[in-house]
Amino acid sequence: MTTTKRVPVTEGLFEETAGGARLLGSRCATCNSTYFPKSPVCHNPKCNGSAVEDASFGPLGKLWSYSVQHYAPPPPAKFDEPYEPYTLGLVDLPEGLRVLGRMSTDNPNSLEVGMNVELVIERIHGDDDGNDVVSWMFRPA
Amino acid sequence: MRDVAVIGVGMHPWGKFPDSSITQMCRQAVEAALEDAGAEWPDVQAVSAGSSRFSGGKGWGLNGNDVVEDMGPTGVPVYNLSAGCAAGGNAFDIGHMLVSSGMYNMVLVVGGEKMPKGMIQLSGVDEETDPEYLRQIAVGMPGPAFWALLCRRRMAEHGTTEEQLADIAVKAHQISVHNQNARFRKEFTQEDVLNSALVSDPLHLYEICPVSDGAAAAILCSAEEARKRTTDPIWVAASAVATAQFDDGIPRGLASPAPADGHAYHSEALLAVESCYEKAGVSPKDVDLVELQDNTVYYELAFPEEWGLCEPGEAESLLERGETLPTGKLPINPSGGFLCFGEATTAMGMFQVCELTWQLRGQAGARQVPDAKIGLGQTLGLGSNASAVILKR
């Protein structure tokens, strides 16, 4: 029996912990501005600080908005053939970040602006070796 | 700074022109602008051009140089300006400065574009350090989905209905049948719009602009030069460009700061427009017509509110009362807008200068805004670029 491997879509963006999924980013040591993905510097023009620290965010947030993507996106986006519409979300995290991600839901009609969502790591498509390529997503909490 | 006049404008029709090169299309726009100005090509002392990554420009965005070589090399200085879809507006801003500063008395500003087929692949950079590349591989979010997210939020906040969104497209096409340069000159019903394919829910195909080929040009000159050539110049009351601010809540990569009040607005567009109000000494209530960048119907609701042209949440009722038609209280996109022309990225700012000029001269025919005196134009481009211009007669 073969086991399907879970391969992150790219390294260093997220992790799965006992307390749930986390996004990996940065926080400014001076003004607390948060960044995803990691940023080597703080971009807040009102901040004089230069030191940023590694920080992780999640898993809870509020759905700012969402949209069902009804047609296949152009490259370099990838998807399993035949294309099945998926839902995109924009989520406000309490750490002060507004983050894009796919929604994990079978029923986009049940989504509502302002609802509580949680971060999960799930399959977005397969690769040539039969592995699951995974990315961060949000699902109703 | 000196006063600057627009004394000539010209446009190549917008659409798909597989048999025309970008240079041919620009030439048609430039020749029309020169003729309109009563000027000859050798009179042009400098050229400011929108710089394309899609067509011409020798692969380096040197689109102004293509125009000069084609029109006849006279040795004029050329400025190629790159600002995504704001490049035409950016080029106009530099052209304006070249004249207002006293450097030159007559300047050509031109923008032309031939777009590749299909959806724009947002990033041309396949590197994991590029935020757009990351967004596409990790999330998969093309441009229309970005507009859809903003639109869905508005629906939740203001109760905007799908019918109201569709009516914006209906209004645009109702006007564009009167514009000979428009790509789509066919009226649609609300039902037609709602029955068109869902692209990114809640936005349908007819509620977003397609990509087009197009070109537009203008001749700018000093007041002294303008008085020699015309009794009826259009004046540049203000021109401005801007980029975005840190915390406007618009995610341009994978994430942005989340403002505590939940807001999101295009700060680059607001800054450019507010800068124009201030420079021109014009208040929003003085504006007789607006040409705004309607990549999607959403912007026709959001932008007028963000720029103080109407109250927050008022845009839908203005639309329903017909106030955004050319004959209404707040005419928006009396050209038909990019919903009807399509997006020829780097030509868009110059498209607006042409339409504003025709409107202010009273030459807009069946789509004329009655007694238009002050017109506002605005573009928005990749890299959080924006431009704005106020023209007056």
Question: Rounded to the nearest 10 degrees, how much is the dihedral formed by the CA atoms of B196, B197, B203, B209?
Answer: -80
Radius of gyration of chain A (CA): 16
Q: Which residues of A touch B255 (CB under 8 A)?
A: 25, 35-36, 97-100
- The answer to whether the CB atoms of A76 and B136 lie below 8 A apart is yes
Q: Does A71 touch chain B (CB under 8 A)?
A: yes
Domain that holds residue A124: 7-140
Q: Residue B203: beta bridge partners?
A: B200
Select from B118, B134, B145 the Cβ nearest to the Cβ of A67.
B145
Q: What is the ipTM of this complex?
A: 0.96
Tell me the DSSP string of B330-369. S-B-TT-HHHHH-B-GGGHHHHHHHHHHHHHHT--GGGPP
Q: With an 8 Å Cβ cutoff, are B258 and A98 in contact?
A: yes
Per-residue HEC secondary structure of chain A comes to CCCCCEEECCCCCEEEECCEEEEEEEEECCCCCEECCCCCCCCCCCCCCCCEEEEEECCEEEEEEEEEECCCCCCCCCCCCCCCCEEEEEEEECCCEEEEEEECCCCHHHCCCCCEEEEEEEEEEECCCCCEEEEEEEEEC
Please report which confidence band the pLDDT of residue A9 belongs to, taking 50, 70 and 90 as the band edges.
very high
Give CA B25 to chain center in angstroms. 18
**A2 is a domain residue:** no
**Lowest mean pLDDT across B110-119, B202-211, B331-340:** B110-119
Beta-bridged to residue B86, according to DSSP, are none
Q: Is A129 left (phi over 0), alpha (psi -120 to 50) or beta?
A: alpha
Q: Does residue B15 belong to the interface with chain A, where contact is any CB pair within 8 Å? A: no
Q: How do strand B46-50 and strand B78-81 relate by DSSP bridges? A: parallel
Beta-carbon separation of A93 and B139 below 8 A: no
Q: For chain B, what is the mean pLDDT?
A: 95
Q: How confident is the model at residue B131 (pLDDT cuts 50, 70, 90)?
A: confident
Residue A2 has pLDDT above 70, yes or no: no
The answer to the question of residue A114 being in a domain is yes
Minimum distance, in Å, between the CA of residue B54 and any CA atom of chain A? 16
Greatest CA separation found in chain B?
59
Considering only CA atoms, which of B227, B213, B186, B253 is closest in space to residue B25? B213
The pLDDT, as a whole number, for residue B142 is 86
**Would you give the DSSP letter of residue B230?**
-
With left for phi above 0 and alpha for psi between -120 and 50, is residue B348 left, alpha or beta? alpha
Q: How confident is the model at residue B124 (pLDDT cuts 50, 70, 90)?
A: low
Domains of chain B: 4-118+213-234 (3.40.47.10), 141-209+237-387 (3.40.47.10)
Contact A22, A101 (CB under 8 A): no
- Residue A97 belongs to a domain: yes
Nearest CB neighbour to B255, from listed A36, A88, A114: A36
| B143 Cβ under 8 Å from any chain A Cβ | no
- Could you say which of A10, A79, A97 has the minimum Cβ distance to residue B258? A97
Q: Give the pLDDT band (50/70/90) at residue B121.
A: low
Q: Which amino acid is at B185?
A: R
Look at residue A81 and tell me if it is in a domain: yes
Is pLDDT of B122 > 90?
no
C-alpha B4/C-alpha B319 separation (Å) is 34
Tokens representing A86?
Answer: 């998926």
Rounded mean pLDDT of A127-132?
A: 93
**E-state strands within chain B:** 4-15, 46-50, 78-81, 106-113, 198-200, 203-204, 213-222, 234-243, 255-257, 289-291, 374-381, 385-392
B152-185 pLDDT tens trace: 999 999 999 999 999 999 999 999 999 999 999 9
Strand A20-28 and strand A14-17: the pairing is antiparallel
Tokens standing for residue B379 = 């573009």
Residue A99 touches chain B, beta carbons under 8 Å:
yes
- Cβ of B128 and A10 within 8 Å? yes
pLDDT of residue B143: 86
Which residues in chain B have their CB less than 8 angstroms from residue A64's CB? Answer: 149, 153, 258, 262, 264
Say what the pLDDT of residue A111 is.
98
Nearest to A100 among B152, B203, B251 (CB): B251
Asked if residue B347 lies in contact with residue B215, where contact means CB atoms within 8 angstroms, the answer is: yes
Residue B126: pLDDT band with limits 50, 70, 90: confident
Partner A contacted by B201 (CB < 8 A): yes
* Cβ contact B212:B342 at 8 Å: yes
CB-based contact B135 A33, cutoff 8 Å: no
Q: How does residue B44 score in pLDDT terms, banded at 50, 70 and 90?
A: very high
Q: Is the peptide bond before B259 cis (omega within 30 degrees of 0)?
A: no
- The pLDDT score that the predictor gives to residue A50 is 82
- Is residue A1 one of the residues assigned to a domain? no
pLDDT tens-digit map of A32-67: 999 999 999 999 999 998 899 999 999 999 999 999
Rounded to an integer, what distance in angstroms lies between the CA atom of residue A76 and that of residue A93?
27
pLDDT of residue B203: 98
Of the candidates B238, B387, B347, B344, the one whose C-alpha atom is nearest the C-alpha of residue B10 is B347
The nearest CA of chain A is from the CA of B349 a distance in Å of 27
User: In the predicted model, is pLDDT for residue A1 greater than 60?
Assistant: no
Does the residue A37 lie in any domain? yes
Confirm or reject contact between A78 and chain B (CB < 8 A): yes
Question: Please, are residues B346 and B379 in contact by the beta-carbon 8 Å criterion?
Answer: no
Q: B128 pLDDT band (50/70/90 cuts)?
A: confident
Contacts of B119 in chain A (CB under 8 A): 73-74
- What part of A 108-127 touches B (C-beta under 8 Å)? 108, 112-114, 124
Helix (H) or strand (E) holding B99: helix B87-100
Higher per-residue pLDDT: A90 or B1 = A90
Tens digit of pLDDT for each residue in A96-126?
Answer: 999 999 999 999 999 999 999 999 999 999 9
User: B141 vs A73: CB contact, 8 Å cut-off?
Assistant: yes
Nearest to B137 among A77, A100, A114 (CB): A77
Strands B385-392 and B374-381 come out as: antiparallel
The total domain count for chain A is: 1
Closest CA–CA distance from residue A33 to any residue of chain B (Å) = 7
Angle, in degrees to the nearest 10, between helices B297-306 and B143-158? 60
The predicted-structure confidence for B307-362, as pLDDT tens digits, reads as follows 999 999 999 999 999 999 999 999 999 999 999 999 999 999 999 999 999 999 99
Using the Cβ of A29 and the Cβ atoms of chain B, whether some distance falls under 8 Å is answered with no
Give percent of chain B with pLDDT exceeding 90: 91
